[in-house]
Amino acid sequence: MSLSARVTWRSFRVGAGRMILPGLAAFPFGIGFGVAAAQKGLSAFETTLMSFTVMAGTSQMVALDIWAKPLPLVALFVSVFVANLRYFVMGAALQPYLPDLPWYKQPFVWFVTIDQNWALNIEEYRRGKGDLGKFLGGGLSMVCIWSGATLLGHLAAGGVLADPAASLRFGLDFVGISVFVVVAALLFRGKRDLAPWTVAILAALTAKWLLHGNWYIVIGGLAGGLYGAMRDLRQDRVG
């Protein structure tokens, strides 16, 4: 088995410890989700269970936006699927570094493929220092922090955060944006990324203006990815 697929207790603990601060950075976002879930009528158990099993703040917020009784299952499925399409790309980026990963470990890797955890670990894999133990430990740390934050938010919904405007006063609406900015900064590799990122941003903004729903996420990601892939293929042929 390659070192990149080996798990040790020491590396697991290191991975869990180093993701505490990034996890706490998303803590207010989790509280905001818990408050929103309570306002939609979800119980504390349902809110915590969703956070622990889904572990994707953006798609959970998207789901709450269209939450109703009876549940609009088709719209819910499509919206969450679109919001989570980036995980296909993130998973594909990991595959070359885990060629010998046993089948029974793969579901755990999928589960802990979380934006901040993935961004930090993929950089180490690219430098030849990837460690699956750190990846799994960091993901579990974030899962626990996120689930705990959403539970606290749900419990606080009957108290200090009972007023819907409280989230705005505490700046909870901005936390998600700040987290994604940090992830983007970690992934940025210099001038080489400027062109595809620009294409992705322009395509996403155009789609957001022209289309309803979350299709701008898909269109922006596909446009930037296709541009980058075509550019790399053209350079390989020239080289």
Last residue of a domain, one of 187, 204, 226: 187
Q: Where are the alpha helices (DSSP H) in the chain?
A: 9-18, 20-25, 27-39, 44-54, 57-65, 73-83, 86-94, 106-111, 115-126, 132-156, 166-169, 172-187, 191-210, 215-238
Q: pLDDT value at position 167?
A: 59
Residue 148 and residue 198 in one domain: no
Instruction: Indicate the number of domains in the chain.
Output: 2
Residue 157 and residue 202 in one domain: no
Residue 182 and residue 225 in one domain: no
Last residue of a domain, one of 187, 203, 225: 187
Last residue of a domain, one of 145, 163, 187: 187
Full-model pTM: 0.72
First to last CA, the chain: 34
Q: pLDDT value at position 46?
A: 94
Residue 163 and residue 49 in one domain: yes
- The Cα–Cα gap between 73 and 71 comes to 5
Segments forming the whole domain that contains residue 130: 3-187
Residue 158 and residue 221 in one domain: no
Residue 228 and residue 139 in one domain: no
CA distances from 51 to 6, 110, 187, 207 (A): 28, 15, 25, 29
Q: pLDDT value at position 1?
A: 45
- The Cα–Cα gap between 76 and 52 comes to 18
Residue 133 and residue 231 in one domain: no
Residue 236 and residue 159 in one domain: no
Residue 76 and residue 111 in one domain: yes
Residue 196 and residue 183 in one domain: no
Residue 145 and residue 78 in one domain: yes
Q: Please, what are the averages of pLDDT over each run of 10 residues along the chain (239 residues)?
A: 71 95 85 85 93 88 81 79 79 86 89 91 89 95 95 81 60 59 66 86 90 74 79 70
Residue 156 and residue 205 in one domain: no
- The Cα–Cα gap between 90 and 231 comes to 20
